[in-house]
């Protein structure tokens, strides 16, 4: 009887150890271009980016959205930011979102790699309570 209980206890221990404590982290700054022959207008994508979360143009320095995902469309282009890797809401600075060639990833790195054509990339950080932000461009 005691032996059986020890077996049950050890099995439970093994199962617990096998479950990941945190979701698997995405690779950062890796562009996934889905179809480079689709030509979007870069200015449309820039305007869509600044339309996220009700608008982050001008002096606004953060994209803060109390949802897992936010989308904006302008002309030919749709831009979506999604909290991934355990993230449930979005809280990212505009500088980090844009990226500017950062090894952490960013919208501008995605544009440089894909196009402007449809694709996605994960940017390090910027999600709550933890996690990263996936930025995606698609045809509107
Ligand atoms: C890529 O986009 C082009 C232009 O819209 C389209 O003709 C082609 O079928 C697409 N390829 C794939 C694999 O979806």
Single out the residue of 138, 139, 135, 140 nearest to residue 63, CA to CA: 135
User: What is the CB-side half-sphere exposure of residue 118 using CA atoms within 13 A?
Assistant: 9
User: What are the extents of the domains in the chain?
Assistant: 25-139
Q: What's the pTM?
A: 0.84
Output the pLDDT for position 25.
Answer: 87
Asked whether the predicted pLDDT for residue 88 surpasses 80, the reply is yes
What rounded mean pLDDT belongs to the chain?
89
What residues flank ligand 1, with Cβ below 6 Å? 35, 37-38
How do residues 32-66 score in pLDDT, each as one tens digit?
999 999 999 999 999 999 999 999 999 999 999 99
Asked whether the predicted pLDDT for residue 117 surpasses 90, the reply is yes
Output the pLDDT for position 27.
Answer: 97
The closest residue, in CA terms, to atom 5 on ligand 1 is 38
The closest residue, in CA terms, to atom 14 on ligand 1 is 35
Distance between CA atoms of residues 85 and 105, nearest Å: 15
């Amino acid at each position: 009887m005691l032996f059986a209980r020890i077996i049950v206890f050890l099995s439970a221990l093994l199962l617990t150890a096998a479950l990941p404590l945190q979701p698997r982290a995405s690779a950062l700054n890796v562009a996934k271009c889905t179809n480079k022959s689709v030509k979007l207008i870069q200015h449309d994508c820039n305007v869509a980016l600044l339309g996220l979360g009700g608008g982050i143009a001008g002096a606004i320095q953060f994209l803060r959205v109390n949802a897992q995902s936010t989308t904006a469309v302008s002309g030919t282009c749709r831009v979506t930011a999604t909290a991934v890797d355990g993230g449930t809401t979005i809280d990212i600075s505009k500088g980090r979102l844009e990226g500017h060639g950062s090894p952490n990833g960013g919208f501008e790195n995605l544009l440089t790699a894909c196009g402007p054509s449809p694709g996605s990339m994960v940017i390090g950080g910027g999600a709550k309570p933890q996690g990263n932000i996936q930025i995606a461009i698609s045809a509107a």
